[in-house]
A and B are shown apart, each in its own frame.
Chain A
């Protein structure tokens, strides 16, 4: 079964600093990969996704992620953190070409704190 590991349940950065949230997946075949963001008392919102094509994916709010097959990673980055980025972030994986039985599997989440 596929799984994702998010390193660091809590990450704290200063406003204006680089944001790096780590995600590694385990799969014999590269899957579809997603990053979601959850603001307090809300549902999850899709930030970006990798399915095929370019390995550097740009999402909303200035975030981007790079799929690295050799490292089985899909780390999320943002060059300059803003206070509004404080939220919980989830990496998710979905197998490719496995029909209706496929579901998203989520990591345990990383809570991002942004300080002044």
Chain B
């Protein structure tokens, strides 16, 4: 595989608690992305990063924040989890912004907010 791991793989948390998901890559790729996958919606972009400390919002960024203090790690934080954030979260990486090889995806984190 491409050297991208997500942790944890599964998490159950209570409404109102903060949650941090981690994406770690060993490919030294510049671009990293966080998507959420929900039935009927496909994958929707939450946030992305185009370098260390360079991040930007995607189409569904409300309630989420991200940080990238080093190339290999991209953290997604739910400041105060809500039931609507129950989803499967995928991290993706790319070398060229997806121009040449598309994205490589992690195995996902299944988050349940109760």
Contact = CB atoms under 8 A, between A and B. Distances in A.
Interface of A: 9, 32, 34, 36, 41-46, 49, 51, 90, 92, 94, 99-109
Interface in B79-114: 90, 92, 97-108
Given A32-B99, A43-B107, A103 B42 contact: no
B52 interface: no
Nearest to A101: B56
Contact of B102 (A9, A100, A104, A109): A104
B70 interface: no
A34 B102 contact: yes
Contact of B58 (A51, A103, A107): A103
B98 A102 contact: yes
A17 to B, nearest CB: 25
A45 B97 contact: no
Interface string B22-37: 0000000001010100
